[in-house]
Amino acid sequence: MASDFDEFAARLTAADPEEVQVAGPSLEQRNQRASVIVVQTASTENRIGSVESDVTNEVHTDQDSRQSLAESNGPLSPILITSRRRRARDEGNEEEEMEDAGPPSRKAKSDAEGGFLLEKKDKSIVDDEEDGQVCPVCFDVWSNSGSHRVVSLKCGHLFGQACIERWVHSGGKGARCPQCNESAQKKDIRPIYVRNLKAIDTTERDRALAALEHEKENRRRLELEYHKLQIQMTAKEQDILRLQHELQQCRAALSGACLAASGQGAELPLAGAGPLFGSQPPGILGRRLVLDSTLELCKEGQCRVMSYSEHLTLLVVSYAGTNSHLTGTGVKKVNALGGFRTVGYIAVHRKPIRDMAFHLEQNDLLLTVSLDKTAKLVNVHSDIAVTSYSCDAPLWSCAWNADNKYQFFVGTGTGKVLLYDTRKPGDAVDCWSEPNSMSPVTGLAYLPFSPVTTFPRGGLFVQRLQSCVFHESRTDGFVAHPLPLDGSFTSLCVEPETRHFLASSRPNNAHPQARHTVCAPSWTVLGSDSSNGVCSSHAITTIQAGTQQKLLSRSCLLTAPGSTEGKQLIVAAHQEAAQCISLWDVNSSAVLQKLPCSDPVLDLLPIRVNGVHFVAALSEKNARFYKWT
């Protein structure tokens, strides 16, 4: 029996390795894929003969497969060849398992007597480990160099270079990919330059990234909805306060009318009615402006406009950063409480800012417009731009709608006025322009509706370089009313308490001096319908302010603090030739005070901090704060 076993081992050693490889994987791999193969010296002669027959039959089967492959017209699919090899191998393994079947004690004894036992490995696990490491044509591992280096077809499947070239050559013009049956040519063979080829499963990561982007989008949407709801809530609160104030005015007017009718007192005038300035002559108040502090904003000289929130005691100044710390164009925040000092910077636009305006109710929301053709809503607490609106032209001016807290207006450099609604992000909801006029909109100011005044209509003042128009707000839209004023205009300012406005213009051929015209709007009813009429204005006074003005500087119309009988209106403006800030009394057109200022002043703004009144003067580099004393 021992001689029979030695003869069988010699025959296995003399077998051709290439023939064994054609039949499938190596002998070691075959042992791993198959069930348990036990070789024992104590086996019977019949068992050795059975093993010999199995090996011989398997070699002959693979030789027949190679011969049929050579005689066929086209190449067979590796999948078919694989199935044949595995089927033959599985049949042989089943016979071996049947022969090895016996009592458990006998098998354990045979193992202990000196036989060797190869550990059984799950066939599916082995296939998974080899997938992506072996060529699907020859089932041999590929390399990163040589004739069997890893290459791919245009469909993406990987093969050994020699195998796929032989496959494509045998298929001719009708050659196809062995894996997906897509057409393949020799030019489609592309080498893969890698050391190790491993496919990493990124499905979970991609799914997590997609979920993260979805959550970010939901967060942005919720933040936008939150700001909209906050604006709506603030609008309702302000509407309640406005109605309460109007109710108090109506009650006071009714009480005064009753007292006048009974002879017990004088008639109390309505807001905006009666004499404009009372009986006090100019200067009777005995108050003057004194320089309180000077704040250096930048050394490059890039400041342009200002805006102030009394609720936040915060002054914002447009600024163009040019150093490494402040880049782009944005706003500098100046805290007015406890002394004026810079507290932060917000980068907003790519080009200079032309105008800014705080929201009338949501105090931390700032509207900015710039020459980069965008208008942005900025939260001054979080220092981020909440919403951005794109236009087709550079923007010069802006204003909030005091009768509709969701709307704002922007004026373009081509003469158009665009109306936006914060509840409808995107394009403008309305647009109007002046026929045959492309001059920039230099100023926008909104006058709210007030039924208890001599001019009750609400609407938007639109000032271009050569014209001034009042757009009356009605339920069906806006109606334009041209105002009888002459340009060239530089700035526009509305005093909300007296409902008067100031239109400033620089010298031209028709008017050799700079002019500051204070006007009172008027309303003329047409017919029996009180809501149908014509808006106009009449000039109260026109102040001559020198023959030189090169800059589009802003003047302001303010009330003198402490005036009780009527409102003493004051015009404050910079005179370039005299290098000073002049204050004129509107009633007499007399100069009340001159404040020396060597730097050209670009913007003037009245502010109030905890009941104390100031006038802020902005130049290109500094801000000066004058206090009423």
- Would the pLDDT of 386 be above 50? yes
* pLDDT, greater one: 68 or 207: 207
Helices 45-71, 2-14: crossing angle, 10 deg rounding:
20
Instruction: Give yes or no for a cis peptide into 467 (omega within 30° of 0).
Output: no
Two structure tokens written together for 319:
């600024």
* Residue 226 pLDDT class (50, 70, 90 cuts): confident
Q: How many residues does the chain have?
A: 629
Determine the Cα–Cα distance for residues 138 and 147; give it in Å rounded to an integer: 13
What is the DSSP-derived secondary structure letter of residue 465? Answer: S
From 486, 558, 567, 479, select the one nearest 523 (Cα to Cα): 479
Please report the DSSP string for 228-271 in residue order.
HHHHHHHHHHHHHHHHHHHHHHHHHHHHHHHHHHHTSSPPPPPT
Determine the Cα–Cα distance for residues 22 and 68; give it in Å rounded to an integer: 13
Determine the Cα–Cα distance for residues 76 and 230; give it in Å rounded to an integer: 72
Q: How far out from the chain centre does Cα 465 lie?
A: 34
**What's this model's pTM, rounded to 2 decimal places?**
0.56
Residues 6+ apart with CB under 8 A from 234: 361, 362, 405
> CA of 231: how far to CAs of 207, 227, 307, 310, in Å?
36, 6, 20, 18
State residue 402's pLDDT score: 93
Q: Per residue in 449-474, pLDDT tens?
A: 988 788 888 999 999 998 999 999 98
* Residue 100 pLDDT class (50, 70, 90 cuts): very low
Q: Do 462 and 478 meet the contact criterion of CB atoms below 8 Å apart?
A: no
**CATH classification of 130-197, choosing from 3.40.1080.10, 3.30.40.10, 3.40.50.80, 3.40.640.10?**
3.30.40.10
Q: Per residue in 393-419, pLDDT tens?
A: 999 999 999 999 999 999 999 999 999
> CA of 547: how far to CAs of 507, 508, 543, 544, 572, in Å?
6, 9, 12, 9, 17
State residue 529's pLDDT score: 73
Mean pLDDT (the chain) is 77
State residue 49's pLDDT score: 47
Two structure tokens written together for 197:
């080829």
* Location of structure tokens 């490491």: 133
Q: Per residue in 14-72, pLDDT tens?
A: 555 444 444 444 444 444 443 333 333 334 344 444 444 454 454 444 445 444 444 44
From 561, 563, 568, select the one nearest 626 (Cα to Cα): 561
* Residue 321 pLDDT class (50, 70, 90 cuts): low
State residue 518's pLDDT score: 94
Instruction: Provide mean pLDDT across the span 141-163.
Output: 87
State residue 606's pLDDT score: 94
Beta strands in 73-226 (DSSP E): 116-117, 150-152, 158-160, 190-191
Two structure tokens written together for 256:
């005064």
230 phi, psi to nearest 5 deg: -65, -40
Determine the Cα–Cα distance for residues 581 and 617; give it in Å rounded to an integer: 9
452 phi, psi to nearest 5 deg: -100, 15
193 phi, psi to nearest 5 deg: -95, 85
Determine the Cα–Cα distance for residues 237 and 376; give it in Å rounded to an integer: 24
Question: Reduced to 3 states, what is the DSSP secondary structure of residue 358?
Answer: strand
* pLDDT, greater one: 51 or 626: 626
Determine the Cα–Cα distance for residues 342 and 535; give it in Å rounded to an integer: 43
Q: Per residue in 496-553, pLDDT tens?
A: 888 999 999 999 888 888 999 999 998 888 777 777 788 988 889 999 888 888 888 9
- Judged on CB neighbours under 10 Å (0-12, 13-18, 19+), 362 is buried
307 phi, psi to nearest 5 deg: -150, 150
Q: Do 318 and 352 meet the contact criterion of CB atoms below 8 Å apart?
A: yes
Two structure tokens written together for 7:
């003869």
Compute the Cα dihedral for 588, 593, 598, 603 and give only its sign.
negative
State residue 494's pLDDT score: 94
User: Any idea which of 195-199, 220-224, 277-281, 452-456 has the lowest mean pLDDT?
Assistant: 277-281
HSE-CB at 155 with a 13 A cutoff on CA atoms is: 13
Q: Do 617 and 581 meet the contact criterion of CB atoms below 8 Å apart?
A: yes
Determine the Cα–Cα distance for residues 333 and 341; give it in Å rounded to an integer: 8
From 160, 196, 193, 154, select the one nearest 175 (Cα to Cα): 154
Determine the Cα–Cα distance for residues 471 and 481; give it in Å rounded to an integer: 6
